[in-house]
Amino acid sequence: MNREKIIVIDFGGQYNQLVARRVRECGVYCEIYSYKTDIGQIRDMAPKGIILTGGPNSCYEEGAASCGRELFELGIPVLGLCYGAQLMMLTLGGHVCKAPVREYGKIEVTVDKSSKLFGDVSEKTICWMSHNDYIEKKAPGFRITGRTPDCPVAAAEWEEKDLYAIQFHPEVLHTQEGAKMLRNFVYQVCHCEGTWKMDAFAAASIQAIREKVGKGKALCALSGGVDSSVAAVLMSKAIGNQLTCVFVDHGLLRKNEGDEVEEVFGPKGPYELNFIRVNAQERFYEKLRGVEEPEQKRKIIGEEFIRVFEEEAKKIGAVDFLVQGTIYPDVVESGLGGESAVIKSHHNVGGLPDYVDFKEIMEPLRDLFKDEVRKVGLELGIPEKLVYRQPFPGPGLGIRIVGEVTPEKVVMVQEADAIYREEIARAGLDRTIGQYFAALTNMRSVGVMGDERTYDYAVALRAVNTVDFMTAETAEIPFEVLAKVMNRVINEVKGVNRVLYDLTSKPPGTIEFE
Ligand code: XMP
């Protein structure tokens, strides 16, 4: 599809995906490419603009991530951010070196409002800085459009050539007027039209899927999570019951989740598709019996999932397409998109089975960020409850029970988690916390209930906020809410006599508690 787009050239900065998301929030499609991408390929893509990201190196060091001078001579507007700004200046004849004062944090920048980037921005505006190096001398032809007391070139531009450099990070929310700056780049400098809209995406995808599938058959592993649900609905709207969805209930789902998924996708739900629910609880519990080691549990669950799915697929016979709920961050993180590749070793439900007879993989959400997937979901009429479902790992509660998984423990953690979620929602916090859940520790301790001594398990409550799930901060939940959850869990969940709140950030912890 030849759509209007901006490309982000990634130099390994931690905010590469954030930059692309912000551009898309402006209504313009944006993709991430490694700095190693061939200049010819970039020219052929004919983007409306190019954004260079930050990066961890010093651009003047031997072997540092770099781009050729030609990138600035394509006649395509370029915006360099942080490392990208320094690289632009260095490449075009300016001077970059270690700064006498390292700037880190929220810093007031004085900007020149006559710049197209800053027209509607306050003259003194708070921006997020994080740099050891600085642009000591701008490149010839540029004019300085932003300063701080410690940074003589916080922004510079060469308007006639459409080249813009800014030392700070407009993509992070700490830069109070960053969204305006990016919008200005996209519309005032790159003259985009803003054609990236989720309703248009849904309509175009449905059409494209129809054309591609023709009279063929498609098979989709449905987990009940946001991505596979939206992929399934999109497919179902396009090809109706040429689509079969297999939903494996591994007995490690949250309370009532299996039934909720069936309500939406099953025969009584609003969509036309073949829905197969496999109740495989016993099989999973059997395989997990006596196993304590977390990686081993993950492996068992992942493999068993594939076995169950394959068995169902065999019953269906050959299909033309296997549908996957891959989304854009998966593409970037698996090293196909940007530079800061992080290879995930997660066993996702929906991972690729070896022996399913299909011709082609279909990934209808491959271009979308999570928030866009949610918008498409709402656009397609999927219930909000499902669309705003929190991330839930493929191995499910299997990795929220420390130590051996037993059916009794699954019930404990399901009940505790349901209470926790209910109280968080009641306190109006459900959309403000990134991810929260209850886990069951492997610790039993003495308590007293009524007149009786107990020797029961401790539940751990976890709640974190995160931008990218690579790092996370513990969420500050009001004490009254925690106390209420504690009270209810102790009273309502048999086998639990203590409730702990996990204060650990990531790192050193992980988000999951396994
Ligand atoms: P961790 O625990 O690694 O989690 O800090 C980071 C994010 O990934 C989710 N997660 C998984 N998601 N399959 C998934 O689909 C998995 O095996 C898996 N393990 C962790 C976790 O919920 C968090 O959002």
Phi, psi at residue 194, to the nearest 5°? Answer: 85, 60
Res. 347: pLDDT tops 80: no
Q: Among 373, 512, 513, 514, say which to mutate for ligand 1: greatest number of ligand atoms within 8 Å of CB.
A: 512
Which residues touch 174 (CB under 8 Å, ≥6 apart)? 106, 126, 127, 128
State in Å: Cα 399 to ligand 1 middle: 9
Rounded CA gap, 171 and 11, in Å? 15
Output the pLDDT for position 337: 56
- Binding-site residues, ligand 1, Cβ < 6 A: 346-348, 391, 393-395, 435, 469, 506, 510-512
Q: Whose CA is nearest to atom 23 of ligand 1?
A: 511
The pLDDT value given to residue 108 = 97
Atom of ligand 1 nearest to the CA of 514: 2
Q: 469: CA distance to ligand 1 center in Å?
A: 8
| 491 CA distance to ligand 1 middle (Å) | 30
Per-residue pLDDT reduced to its tens digit, 94-135:
999 999 999 999 999 999 999 999 999 999 999 999 999 999
Cα separation, 222 vs 261, in Å, equals 9
* Ligand 1 centroid – CA 124 distance (Å): 41
User: Which pLDDT value is given to residue 165?
Assistant: 98
Please give the Cα distance from 356 to 323 (Å, whole number): 12
Q: Which atom of ligand 1 is nearest to the CA of 347?
A: 17
pTM for the predicted model, two decimal places? 0.85
pLDDT band with cut points at 50, 70 and 90 for residue 425: very high
Residue nearest to atom 9 of ligand 1 (CA): 393
pLDDT at 81: 97
Going by alpha carbons, the residue nearest to atom 7 of ligand 1 is 469
Task: Give yes or no for residue 243 having a pLDDT over 50.
Answer: yes
Amino acid at 432: T
- Which residue has a Cα nearest atom 20 of ligand 1? 393
pLDDT at 24: 96
Ligand 1 atom closest to the CA of 509, numbered from 1: 5
Q: Which atom in ligand 1 lies closest to the alpha carbon of residue 506? A: 5
Lowest pLDDT segment from 137-151, 357-371, 493-507:
357-371
Atom of ligand 1 nearest to the CA of 512: 2
Q: What share of the chain in percent tops pLDDT 70?
A: 95
Which residue would you say has higher pLDDT here, 22 or 15? 22
Q: How confident is the model at residue 470 (pLDDT cuts 50, 70, 90)?
A: confident
pLDDT tens sequence across 411-420:
999 999 999 9
CA distances from 450 to 446, 454, 458, 491, 510 (A): 13, 10, 18, 11, 36
Q: How far is the CA of 114 from the centre of ligand 1 (A)?
A: 46
- 238 contacts 210 by C-beta, under 8 angstroms: yes
Probe target for ligand 1 pocket from 464, 511, 514, with the most ligand atoms within 8 Å of CB: 511
DSSP assignments along 190-233, one per residue:
S-------HHHHHHHHHHHHHHHHTT--EEEEE-SSHHHHHHHH
Distance CA 409, CA 419 (A): 16
Atom 12, ligand 1: which residue's CA is nearest? 393
Tell me, letter by letter, the H, E, C secondary structure of 297-358: HHHHHHHHHHHHHHHHHHHHCCCCEEECCCCHHHHHHCCCCCCCCCCCCCCCCCCCCCCCCC
User: How much is the pLDDT for 277?
Assistant: 97
Give the residue, by CA position, lying nearest to ligand 1 atom 14: 393
**What is the average pLDDT value for the chain, to the nearest integer?**
93
How far is the centre of ligand 1, averaged over its atoms, from the C-alpha of 366 (Å)?
Answer: 19
Spacing, Cα 91 to ligand 1 middle (Å): 40
pLDDT score recorded for residue 336: 54
Mean pLDDT is lowest, of 257-271, 463-477, 496-510, for 463-477
Catalytic residue numbers read 82, 169, 171
Q: What one-character DSSP code corresponds to residue 138?
A: P
Report pLDDT for 350. 42
